[in-house]
């Protein structure tokens, strides 16, 4: 099958042999054109696309057929942003109306996904009815599904029939011993099965489902939740196995576990990984194509990946909207064409600005945080940023390594209880970054950032992110700032 395309990537100029390494623009470069074409406007499958295109999830799938230790089925909150959480459950008809309304209001929208709040394939009638209607009424919108994998084999034909081009399977393990510590039970062949036996069945179904989808030409992304002490050391093996079977992208996400979420891991005190642990594991996952821009969004999220505009599109509001669907589709086509043209320009500009790397190999890399509201540009005011994109600039180029949220009500137990201001929390979230690029910044945060050893920089406003990061890195090199170790930061 043509889709087994992941290996062996040509070593990037500069020496790193990892297919996942190098600048983010190059990340997809080793994929065949046919696949790049299929993911180029999918924000969840292409790091570059997520600056430009929006997605939404419709919550039509409340039932689940397994229990995961990081999930609490009782949870439902408007202020929480994480998988499995929704505010308003929809019928398929409502979901279709909502999708068409959002796609009319946000013409950057390219993707509609069903991801819960339970498992889409444990709700086949509601899930496929939604897909069936949408493939008729909004044929330009890509449909995708995110599943735990237990029921993939029995639904492969139907997924293909509805033109579901992208499927995400959450695979946290390929070893039942590990699985028994993640999944307390599954519902299988009309029984609740527990323990190691449950994990064995789930793993077998996931792997079979992955193989069947790949054989049918569906693009499969694998999500894994990194759970320190449970599956962290095991995930490189998972990455190797799923790559071998034809998954084209691996997304390792950090465990989210707080006692107040009421999950097994949260209540029992299981910790999530640190950013450094997550990055190290992503780097350790061989030459699998790694995804690092996941925002772990809600099962009813709406908008660009870094934002959630779900509150603007409650069913009450949608029912009050008058929408010309045909006109909306034309407008989407025009906007998408404009985005593609702008991306082409951006790439040219990027290439021109980053081309001659004047920094010698061996020079230490620098983490650069960027405030961006989209389009791949440094175009957001520091104070408006609810998250920062983090890039690592080095002699070989600039690569995207992750994002840091600033609007979390709690950024970890070490900070709990102290009355840190929003600015202090943001500075803590930026720990390890030496520069923050933004379009503008106030005097007070400027001083506070400098005092904390992070250099604010507003001189690259409206420039493409990677080109700006490369320019700053060159400036730092020329100023001799890379000769010494980074300045000590005050956290």
Partner 1 sequence: MAYSITSLCVNCFACMDVCPSRAIAEAKPHFVVDARTCTHCEGDYADAQCASICPVEGAILDPDGLAANPPGSLTGIPPERLLALAACSPA
Q: Closest approach of Cβ 463 to partner 1, in Å?
A: 47
Q: Which residues contact 320 (CB under 8 A, 6 or more apart)?
A: none
Compute the CA torsion angle 199, 205, 206, 209 (nearest 10 deg).
180
Answer for the pair 294, 276: CB distance below 8 angstroms, yes or no. no
Helix locations, 7-123, DSSP H: 24-27, 33-39, 92-105
Is residue 63 a contact residue for partner 1 (CB under 8 A)?
A: yes
Q: Which is nearer to partner 1, 26 or 88 (CB)?
A: 88
Is residue 192 a contact residue for partner 1 (CB under 8 A)?
A: yes
Q: Which is nearer to partner 1, 126 or 155 (CB)?
A: 126
Task: Please select the residue that binds partner 1; options are 2, 10, 33, 74, rule is CB under 8 A.
Answer: 74
Q: Which residues pair with 31 in a beta bridge?
A: none
Q: Closest approach of Cβ 480 to partner 1, in Å?
A: 53
Which H helix or E strand runs over 279? helix 275-284
Is residue 67 a contact residue for partner 1 (CB under 8 A)?
A: yes
Widest CA span in the chain:
68
Task: Please select the residue that binds partner 1; options are 1, 215, 268, 348, rule is CB under 8 A.
Answer: 268
Task: Please select the residue that binds partner 1; options are 16, 264, 286, 458, rule is CB under 8 A.
Answer: 264
Task: Please select the residue that binds partner 1; options are 27, 65, 168, 439, rule is CB under 8 A.
Answer: 65
Residue 477 sits at the vertex; the CA angle it makes with 471 and 481, to the nearest 5 degrees, is 120
Is residue 216 a contact residue for partner 1 (CB under 8 A)?
A: no
Is residue 62 a contact residue for partner 1 (CB under 8 A)?
A: yes
Size, binding site for partner 1 by CB under 8 A: 29
Is residue 350 a contact residue for partner 1 (CB under 8 A)?
A: no
Q: Which is nearer to partner 1, 193 or 441 (CB)?
A: 193
Q: What string of DSSP letters covers 415-438?
A: GTTS---HHHHHHHHTTT-SEEE-
Q: Closest approach of Cβ 188 to partner 1, in Å?
A: 10
Q: Which of residues 124-163 bind partner 1 (CB under 8 A)?
A: 125-126
Is residue 276 a contact residue for partner 1 (CB under 8 A)?
A: no
Answer for the pair 264, 50: CB distance below 8 angstroms, yes or no. no
Q: Which residues pair with 377 in a beta bridge?
A: 464
Is residue 19 a contact residue for partner 1 (CB under 8 A)?
A: no
Task: Please select the residue that binds partner 1; options are 22, 118, 149, 464, rule is CB under 8 A.
Answer: 118
In the shown chain, the binding pattern of residues 75 to 94 toward partner 1, with x for contact by CB under 8 A and - for none, equals: -x------------x-----
Q: Which residues contact 474 (CB under 8 A, 6 or more apart)?
A: 358, 359
Q: Closest approach of Cβ 259 to partner 1, in Å?
A: 6
Beta carbons within 10 angstroms of residue 353's beta carbon:
16
Q: Which is nearer to partner 1, 124 or 432 (CB)?
A: 124
Q: Which of 365, 384, 353 is nearest to 466 (CA)?
A: 353
Answer for the pair 107, 332: CB distance below 8 angstroms, yes or no. yes
Between the CA of residue 23 and those of 29, 346, 393, 396, what are the distances in Å?
A: 10, 15, 9, 8
Answer for the pair 152, 209: CB distance below 8 angstroms, yes or no. yes
Q: Give the interface segment with partner 1, choosing from 187-195, 200-208, 289-297, 453-461 (CB under 8 A).
A: 187-195
Task: Please select the residue that binds partner 1; options are 79, 190, 414, 421, rule is CB under 8 A.
Answer: 190
In 371-419, at which residue ranges do the beta strands (DSSP E only) sit?
A: 387-394, 397-405
Task: Please select the residue that binds partner 1; options are 3, 64, 226, 448, rule is CB under 8 A.
Answer: 64
Task: Please select the residue that binds partner 1; options are 69, 127, 206, 239, rule is CB under 8 A.
Answer: 69
Q: Which of 132, 145, 138 is nearest to 44 (CA)?
A: 145
Q: Which is nearer to partner 1, 20 or 65 (CB)?
A: 65
The site for partner 1 (CB under 8 A) is made up of 62-65, 67, 69, 72-74, 76, 89, 118, 122-123, 125-126, 184-185, 187, 190-192, 259-260, 262-264, 267-268
């Amino acid at each position: 099958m043509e889709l087994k395309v992941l290996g062996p990537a040509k070593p990037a100029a500069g020496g790193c042999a990892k297919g996942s390494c190098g600048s983010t623009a190059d990340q997809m470069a080793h994929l065949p054109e046919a696949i790049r074409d299929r993911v180029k406007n999918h924000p969840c499958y292409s790091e570059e696309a997520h600056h430009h295109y929006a997605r939404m999830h419709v919550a039509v799938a409340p039932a689940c057929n397994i229990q995961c230790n990081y999930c609490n089925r009782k949870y439902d909150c408007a202020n929480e942003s994480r998988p499995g959480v929704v505010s308003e459950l929809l019928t398929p008809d409502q979901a279709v109306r909502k999708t068409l309304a959002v796609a009319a209001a946000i013409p950057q929208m390219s993707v509609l996904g069903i991801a819960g709040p339970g498992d889409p394939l444990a709700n086949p009638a509601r899930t496929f009815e939604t897909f069936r209607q949408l493939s008729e009424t909004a044929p330009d919108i890509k449909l995708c599904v995110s599943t735990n994998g237990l029921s993939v084999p029995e639904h492969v034909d139907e997924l293909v029939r509805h033109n579901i081009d992208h499927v995400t399977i959450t695979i946290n393990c390929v070893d039942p011993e590990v699985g028994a510590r993640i999944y307390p039970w599954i519902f299988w062949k009309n029984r609740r099965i527990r323990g190691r036996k449950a994990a064995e069945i789930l793993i077998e179904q996931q792997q079979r489902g992955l193989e069947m989808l790949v054989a049918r030409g569906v693009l499969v992304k694998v999500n894994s939740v990194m759970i320190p002490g449970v599956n962290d050391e095991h995930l490189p093996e998972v990455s190797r196995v799923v790559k071998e079977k034809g998954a084209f992208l691996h997304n390792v996400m950090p465990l989210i576990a707080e006692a107040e979420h009421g999950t097994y891991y949260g209540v029992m005190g299981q910790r999530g990984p640190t950013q450094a642990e997550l990055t190290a594991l992503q780097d350790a996952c061989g030459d699998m194509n790694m995804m690092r821009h996941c925002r772990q969004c809600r099962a009813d999220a709406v908008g660009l990946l870094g934002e959630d505009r779900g509150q603007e599109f409650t069913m009450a509001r949608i029912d009050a909207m008058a929408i010309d669907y045909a006109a909306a589709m034309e407008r989407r086509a025009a906007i998408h064409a404009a985005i593609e043209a702008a991306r082409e320009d951006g790439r040219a500009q990027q290439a021109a600005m980053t081309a001659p790397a004047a920094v010698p190999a061996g020079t230490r890399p620098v983490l650069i945080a960027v405030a961006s509201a989209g389009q791949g540009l440094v175009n957001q005011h520091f104070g408006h940023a609810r998250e920062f994109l983090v890039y690592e600039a080095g002699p070989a180029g600039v690569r995207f390594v992750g994002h840091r949220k600033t609007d979390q009500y709690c950024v970890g137990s070490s900070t709990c209880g102290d009355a840190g201001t929003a600015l202090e929390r943001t500075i803590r979230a930026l720990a390890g970054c030496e520069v923050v690029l933004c379009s503008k910044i106030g005097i007070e945060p400027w001083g506070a950032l400098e005092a904390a050893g992070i250099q604010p920089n507003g001189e690259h406003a409206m420039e493409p992110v990677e080109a700006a990061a490369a320019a700053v890195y060159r400036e730092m090199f020329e100023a001799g700032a890379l000769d010494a170790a980074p300045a000590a930061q005050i956290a």
